[in-house]
Structure 1
Amino acid sequence: MKYLKLFLFVLLFVSLTIPAQTKEITLENIWSGTFRTEGMDALHSMKNGQKYSVLNFDRATRSTSVDIYDYETLKKVETLVSSSDISELNYFTDYAFSNNEKKLLLATEKESIYRRSSLAYYYVYDVVTGSVVKVSDKKIQEPTFAPDGSKIAYVFNNNIYVKDLNSNNETQITFDGEKNKIINGITDWVYEEEFAFVRAFDWNKSGNKIAFLRFDETNVPEFSMDIYGKALYQTQQVFKYPKAGEKNSDVSLHIYNLKDDKTTAVHVNKTYDDFYIPRIKWTNSADVLSAQYMNRHQNELDVWFINAEDNSSKLMLAEKDKAYIDVTDNLTFLEDNSFIWTSEKDGFNHIYHYSKNGDLKNQVTKGNWEVTNYYGYDKKKNTIFYQSTENGSINRDVYRIKLNGTSKERLTKANGTNSASFSADFSYFINTFSNAETPPYYTLNSATSGELIKRIKDNDNLSQKLADYTTSKKIFSTISVHGNALNMWMLKPANFDATKVYPLFMTQYSGPGSQSVANSWNSTNDYWYQMLAQQGYIVVCVDGRGTGFKGAAFKKITYLNLVKYETEDQIQAARQLGDLPYIDKDRIGIWGWSYGGHMSTNCLLKGNDVFKMAIAVAPVTSWRFYDTIYTERYMRTPQENPSGYDDNSPFNYPELLKGDYLLVHGSGDDNVHVQHTMRMIEALVQADKQFDWAIYPDRNHGIFGGNTRLHLYKKMTSFINEKLGDKI
């Protein structure tokens, strides 16, 4: 019955997307939040596995609270803490439990530093006594409970501190931290951006040792950005940014012993000339630390076990690849210190089980499909839970499988994108489902069978709201380009007439391992594409070679030649689409942001006989200007591969520009610096090529804030209508 209900819901939604609707989507709708989806924020499964907590906001009292819900009934059973009951706090925006769940860490007044890092004031709330303690009078980074909840380690001004919550005493354990020189326990800019983590310290199981990374970025070249603000004189933001081929931070691993107040440097039994340490993690043995070391080319990754008592080390696993190895957070230690690992070594990303001595016990999953998320291991049932593309590369499903690779079972039933949040004891999971026609809804399911227990939250109100608007169905297919079946979606105007011809507007990102063609609910941009479709455009997205979830060979073909094959695929796809009787081959445009902006620029230049216009937002224009970790992973260094860097850098062939080009950047972009756009502008000027451009003052890579996004999308829409829509 439950599946029939879902089918009827989808059928109703599809039936409401025919041209009988009257409202047209506007940019104001999109950027004012008209189509915002409801979600479940900051959910945490309690240790008993029967309850979960959620961070809630009460609009009436303007207070935040951590509320406890029962998995089986989905009803709130108690409010653990509310900001309205704490005089020291007006609100909090994040929370974390101690391991024993007797204390809560509450964050307030957060301010962003870079993409993942932030500063905030933190308070510890004692669940038993109701007392509140401020961790520090200053804004700090990454406070983390010791395993027994008696202490908190955190970073302030690039140094690590430990606060004893019982005595209120504070111990500083590093002293050499200095801005743009030495960082302890927090990653530098490039690690944060490309290895996707900020906290670079970890408590051991007994809470008597802390392992941490130290970054010496003294000799890393500095990058500076003017900050215009509203003052009479601009200021500058100066930070260390290692560009491809340049000096990285010198990274070292250390272990601090709380008992003797002593820090020891770790030296593994191998000499590395130039290396990264992208992950550290204590094992289930209190004196054994795991550390991943990676060479600068990122095609060799070693997992070491370090004995914290005698500083000895043992190489447990060594991976090598002809191209590169992706770093993940999937390393999981079992009770006997054997471990679970994911790897692409058989050509697809799969799960492996290794012994505590580093010997391969078995490959858990196999097949020409990818494991896309590892959820965890249930030791009682000897079962692993994961997400994969086994049901097609544009779909995601949740599975369970025994550690020995037997008894695999698909737990989710509906085709689309399923993702799971499991209870601590793996008895339940909350599934988030959506597809291109169904906005996200949340259900409680049995982790044993996948059976639906209850529906938690949906976005039926959004579906009903969208029923009043003219929309088109996203049509999924593949297109054969250069011998590859590339995933594609297409939007046609709701009043599509096959006897007419329409301009074609292409969207893509195309970066290594990415995916833009996915059977999931609308992103914000999808509403823009719907708007363009109703204005008379056919909108298409193609995932070319180099994108993800179709195996390592498909993804890594772009190695050493970023944007070469990706550009060729977009140009050829546009040619083939232009041959369709209902597409005007003389009115084809393309756009992209960041990597996608590099692509759209290259397509307009190298495909100048195909594309009439292109928009590039915050584009890379030379990989020589981008950071070491990302760029060298795919290109090696400019010194080793100069042609790979220069042959596909668009400011080296500006004379190829024939079509209409809009170039946009934020001047405060710490990621893809405005330098990229300035060099492209200079090249076009010197080649006497006319083009349009816009700089958004002090805006970062996301180019948002206030009215900025609306302004940007109005500009882009006007440009598209002017250059492609002249015959609509």
Structure 2
Amino acid sequence: MTTEAPSATAQDTFPRQYARTLRYTVGQPRSFAVAPDGARVVFLRSTGRDRANLLWSLDPATGTETVVADPALLLGGGEEDLSPAERARRERSREGSAGIVGYALDGAAQLAAFALSGRLFTADLAKGGARELPAVGPLIDPRPSPDGRWIAYPTTAGALRLIAADGSGDRALAEPETAGVTWGQAEFIAQEEMDRDRGYWWSPRSDALLVARADDAPVQRWWIADPANPQVVPAEVAYPAAGTPNAEVTLWLLGLDGTRTEVLWDRAAYPYLGRVHWSAGGAPLLLVQARDQRSQLLLTVDQASGATSELLAEQDAAWLELFPGVPAWTPGGRLVRISDEPGHRALFADQLELTDATLHVRSVLAVGAEEILCTASAGEAAEDQTPGLQGLYVVPLDGSGPRLLRRGAALDAVRGGEVTVLSSAALDRPGRRAEVLRGGESVLAVTSYAETPVLTTRPQFRLAGERRIPAAVVLPTGYDRERDGLLPVLMDPYGGPHGAVVVQAHNAFLSAQWFADQGFAVVVADGRGTPGRSPAWEKAVAFDFAGVTLDDQVEALHALAEEFPLDLARVAIRGWSYGGYLSALAVLRRPDVFHAAVAGAPVTEWRLYDTHYTERYLGHPDQRPEVYQANSLIADAPKLERPLMIVHGLADDNVVAAHTLRLSSALLAAGRPHTVLPLSGVTHMTPQEQVAENLLLLQVDFLKSALGL
């Protein structure tokens, strides 16, 4: 199959192209896997002309790319029919594309399994060809056994089922005993906040599975209505808001022979199942956390009895982070983990610290017999503190020290044998580049069909103020200081945990460049609480979102104004989600600095946000009511004296529309004029093309009017 990347049309504006291409991700290769012997690379990619991903195989020796599965052919040209459970999974993972959005491989990377429209399909990666298996649907997240003989799959009805790879012998391994019970699916809080989207794990011998059983009966029910269609029954959502019960999660060993053994640990003290790892390197490995996330245990599981043994206990006065890729066993049975040490975040194999304070380890991508592949940014002891960069490192298990493989932005990689697929972004080129490396040397690039943006961005990076806050400034194209003078300012932060936006990647600043070209100087700053700097930097927001994150936006603004043409008499701020909270907070509490704001999907009352996220940073609301009061926006409503636009999707089940409605009601009660833009049928992602396009246009019109431009 051959195709060409689509190009922008003559009528394309940036907002239109940005929305149509899902922020230029349509057509970009993604979701890579490499066969253990390095002989095959598997990935997803659309042709760039629509959002539907195909499953591809690439031969690293020749560079030949082959379509393994085309959803249009498999569905006979029909439209996808997504179950509510699959829509929810995609919302949790912020998945806006279509077609094949995920797949799983057997141990040899010869068999792929995936779901389309709730139906089960497999693809033979060695011989070619895809087919549907007669499974019970609708289903989600099918996964082959390591030996390729079986495929397990959860159904939307809550069962976990098993079918042979030839399509025979379909049967239930576990079925829900009551309504609200699911087997083999990650519960809401795991998907949304723990970065755990799986609910079951195959044994290395393919004879058993570790399966999570989740019962959401204790979780309070919310109902999300569609006011534009009052004839539609509101959707019932089990939402564990801060201070309320979570789903009850247990773990079971299910043998293919029908045996069932519960895995036992002190769930009263450690209710969160954060991580599960099962490989040939050792016994099943669990990471379980206390509800306050200030203590956790690493446990091994006895497969005969289900009893667990403590391997390591960890504590932190602020909180313990869950890291991608760990804990894990090496093939030789050493425990790989990431730990916050005094002044830095380090990588360990057993008790041997493999990195030092010059690196801030971010994730583990691959664990081999002799070395680990990981990402890290500069630690506090590093000489080069260039903001927005990270490195891909190879870390030998013998403790001889890490070596840098690549440096860039938004790095991700997978490895098999001597082959590594590296995906990265950079300032000097749009989009992401996927390279196939052999022995650390690039041997070929994976074709991308992503469109080239109609804009080119030119951010200037700084470490601003006494705190050396990572920041970027974007000025209008062709700006001349003598001719154009000072510029009105638009602060464009996210500003919260897990959300660094100051990254040296071209596409990351495209919307900022578009706003700049409307006549603004756009400032993006990652203050304390954002990731990638140091444990102390991230944990400075403990029990204080409002004060810390807002102070750092103000400090960055004032420091950058000493160098850049920023008109401090005309400062606006915009943001979405945590950035929306920060934007509303800015005009409510610092009207002396901020003169207008657009707050998108803001959290306005933290008691309405979920348990795992909110209690990690602010504690339990019953134990720290004063913290929740201090970080809420509702009581600040009478202080509003600046123009404020609040935007919210009415179908949002992450930050529900009640946040905006409660703030709006408080503003109305206080007699404070404001603008509310409700988005009917829109979730937290705003994937709809027309909505995403017009949101940009409406925001710039509002901000220009508010600042008198």
1:686 to 657, 662, 669: 669
Q: Tell me the distance in 2 between the aligned counterparts of 1:131 and 1:535.
A: 49
Write the letter of the residue equivalent to 2:162. V
1:75 to 45, 64, 67: 64
User: 2:105 is matched with which residue?
Assistant: 97
Write the letter of the residue equivalent to 1:251. V
User: Using a 3 Å threshold, how does the CA distance of structure 1 residues 645 and 497 change in structure 2: closer, same or farther?
Assistant: same
Write the letter of the residue equivalent to 1:512. P
Q: Tell me the distance in 2 between the aligned counterparts of 1:627 and 1:660.
A: 29
User: 1:254 is matched with which residue?
Assistant: 252
User: Using a 3 Å threshold, how does the CA distance of structure 1 residues 137 and 461 change in structure 2: closer, same or farther?
Assistant: closer
Q: Tell me the distance in 2 between the aligned counterparts of 1:103 and 1:582.
A: 57
Shift of 1:62: 12
User: Using a 3 Å threshold, how does the CA distance of structure 1 residues 659 and 141 change in structure 2: closer, same or farther?
Assistant: same
The answer to whether structure 1 residue 312 and structure 2 residue 307 are counterparts is yes
User: 1:263 is matched with which residue?
Assistant: 260
User: 2:499 is matched with which residue?
Assistant: 514
Matches within 5 A, 1:393-408: 393-408=387-402
Q: Tell me the distance in 2 between the aligned counterparts of 1:81 and 1:387.
A: 31
Shift of 1:290: 1.6
User: 2:413 is matched with which residue?
Assistant: 421
Q: State how many pairs are aligned.
A: 668
Segment of structure 1 superposing worse, 622-631 or 366-375: 366-375
User: 1:436 is matched with which residue?
Assistant: 427
User: 2:703 is matched with which residue?
Assistant: 720
Q: Tell me the distance in 2 between the aligned counterparts of 1:39 and 1:325.
A: 34
Aligned residue for 1:291, secondary structure, equals strand
Aligned residue for 2:557, secondary structure, equals helix
Shift of 1:202: 1.3
Segment of structure 1 superposing worse, 333-342 or 540-549: 333-342
User: Using a 3 Å threshold, how does the CA distance of structure 1 residues 104 and 209 change in structure 2: closer, same or farther?
Assistant: same
User: Using a 3 Å threshold, how does the CA distance of structure 1 residues 573 and 400 change in structure 2: closer, same or farther?
Assistant: closer
2:598 to 615, 618, 631: 615
User: 2:89 is matched with which residue?
Assistant: none
User: 1:50 is matched with which residue?
Assistant: 39
User: 2:272 is matched with which residue?
Assistant: 276
TM-score normalized with structure 1 length: 0.85
1:234 to 232, 240, 247: 232
Shift of 1:147: 2.0
TM-score normalized with structure 2 length: 0.87
Matches within 5 A, 1:544-563: 544-563=527-546
Q: Tell me the distance in 1 between the aligned counterparts of 2:564 and 2:75.
A: 68
Q: Tell me the distance in 1 between the aligned counterparts of 2:57 and 2:564.
A: 58
User: 2:201 is matched with which residue?
Assistant: 202
Q: Is the 8 A contact 1:579 1:585 kept in 2?
A: no
Q: Tell me the distance in 2 between the aligned counterparts of 1:155 and 1:460.
A: 33
Aligned residue for 2:337, secondary structure, equals strand
Q: Tell me the distance in 1 between the aligned counterparts of 2:234 and 2:175.
A: 27
Aligned residue for 2:162, secondary structure, equals strand
Shift of 1:296: 0.4
Q: Which has the larger radius of gyration?
A: 1
User: Using a 3 Å threshold, how does the CA distance of structure 1 residues 580 and 660 change in structure 2: closer, same or farther?
Assistant: farther
Q: Tell me the distance in 1 between the aligned counterparts of 2:337 and 2:186.
A: 24
User: 1:301 is matched with which residue?
Assistant: 296
The answer to whether structure 1 residue 154 and structure 2 residue 149 are counterparts is no
Q: Which runs of 5+ in 1 are unaligned?
A: 1-21, 110-119, 355-359
User: Using a 3 Å threshold, how does the CA distance of structure 1 residues 538 and 102 change in structure 2: closer, same or farther?
Assistant: closer
Shift of 1:659: 0.8
Q: Tell me the distance in 1 between the aligned counterparts of 2:37 and 2:403.
A: 25
Write the letter of the residue equivalent to 2:409. T
Write the letter of the residue equivalent to 1:51. R
Q: Structure 1, residues 205-254: CA drift from partner, whole Å, max 9, x if none?
A: 22222211222221211111113465x61311112111111111222221
Q: Tell me the distance in 2 between the aligned counterparts of 1:348 and 1:263.
A: 42
Aligned residue for 2:28, secondary structure, equals coil
Q: Tell me the distance in 2 between the aligned counterparts of 1:503 and 1:386.
A: 41
Q: Tell me the distance in 1 between the aligned counterparts of 2:692 and 2:74.
A: 37
The answer to whether structure 1 residue 377 and structure 2 residue 359 are counterparts is no
Q: Structure 1, residues 43-72: CA drift from partner, whole Å, max 9, x if none?
A: 331232133234455699999864433223
Q: Is the 8 A contact 1:612 1:660 kept in 2?
A: yes
Matches within 5 A, 1:123-142: 123-126=121-124, 132-142=131-141
2:357 to 367, 382, 387: 367
Q: Is the 8 A contact 2:275 2:287 kept in 1?
A: yes
Write the letter of the residue equivalent to 2:280. N
Write the letter of the residue equivalent to 1:122. L
User: 2:488 is matched with which residue?
Assistant: 503
User: 1:566 is matched with which residue?
Assistant: 549
Matches within 5 A, 1:662-677: 662-677=645-660
Segment of structure 1 superposing worse, 429-438 or 241-250: 429-438
User: 1:116 is matched with which residue?
Assistant: none
Q: Tell me the distance in 2 between the aligned counterparts of 1:647 and 1:29.
A: 41
Shift of 1:650: 1.4
Shift of 1:374: 1.6
Q: Is the 8 A contact 2:34 2:109 kept in 1?
A: no
User: Using a 3 Å threshold, how does the CA distance of structure 1 residues 694 and 174 change in structure 2: closer, same or farther?
Assistant: same
Shift of 1:599: 0.6
Q: Tell me the distance in 2 between the aligned counterparts of 1:49 and 1:441.
A: 22
Shift of 1:714: 1.7
Segment of structure 1 superposing worse, 135-144 or 56-65: 56-65
User: Using a 3 Å threshold, how does the CA distance of structure 1 residues 198 and 68 change in structure 2: closer, same or farther?
Assistant: closer
Q: Tell me the distance in 1 between the aligned counterparts of 2:306 and 2:182.
A: 23
Q: Tell me the distance in 2 between the aligned counterparts of 1:435 and 1:596.
A: 24
Shift of 1:125: 4.0
Q: Tell me the distance in 2 between the aligned counterparts of 1:581 and 1:57.
A: 41
The answer to whether structure 1 residue 605 and structure 2 residue 588 are counterparts is yes
Q: Which runs of 5+ in 2 are unaligned?
A: 1-9, 81-98, 379-383
Q: Is the 8 A contact 2:606 2:614 kept in 1?
A: yes
Q: Is the 8 A contact 1:440 1:459 kept in 2?
A: no
Q: Tell me the distance in 1 between the aligned counterparts of 2:195 and 2:259.
A: 29
User: Using a 3 Å threshold, how does the CA distance of structure 1 residues 281 and 673 change in structure 2: closer, same or farther?
Assistant: same
User: 2:340 is matched with which residue?
Assistant: 344
Q: Structure 1, residues 287-333: CA drift from partner, whole Å, max 9, x if none?
A: x3222211000011101111111333210111111111111232221
Q: Tell me the distance in 1 between the aligned counterparts of 2:74 and 2:22.
A: 34
Q: Is the 8 A contact 1:369 1:551 kept in 2?
A: no
Q: Tell me the distance in 2 between the aligned counterparts of 1:522 and 1:79.
A: 28
Q: Tell me the distance in 1 between the aligned counterparts of 2:176 and 2:457.
A: 59
Segment of structure 1 superposing worse, 295-304 or 492-501: 492-501
User: Using a 3 Å threshold, how does the CA distance of structure 1 residues 574 and 656 change in structure 2: closer, same or farther?
Assistant: farther
User: 1:331 is matched with which residue?
Assistant: 327
Segment of structure 1 superposing worse, 662-671 or 29-38: 29-38
Q: Is the 8 A contact 1:339 1:353 kept in 2?
A: yes
Q: Is the 8 A contact 1:623 1:649 kept in 2?
A: yes
User: Using a 3 Å threshold, how does the CA distance of structure 1 residues 79 and 630 change in structure 2: closer, same or farther?
Assistant: closer
Shift of 1:167: 7.4
User: Using a 3 Å threshold, how does the CA distance of structure 1 residues 50 and 535 change in structure 2: closer, same or farther?
Assistant: same
Q: Structure 1, residues 381-409: CA drift from partner, whole Å, max 9, x if none?
A: x1222222135441022222211221532
Segment of structure 1 superposing worse, 240-249 or 61-70: 61-70
Shift of 1:545: 1.4
Q: Is the 8 A contact 1:43 1:55 kept in 2?
A: yes
Write the letter of the residue equivalent to 1:672. V
Q: Tell me the distance in 2 between the aligned counterparts of 1:586 and 1:409.
A: 48
Q: Structure 1, residues 666-696: CA drift from partner, whole Å, max 9, x if none?
A: 1111000111001100110111000111111
User: 1:36 is matched with which residue?
Assistant: 24
Q: Tell me the distance in 1 between the aligned counterparts of 2:52 and 2:588.
A: 53
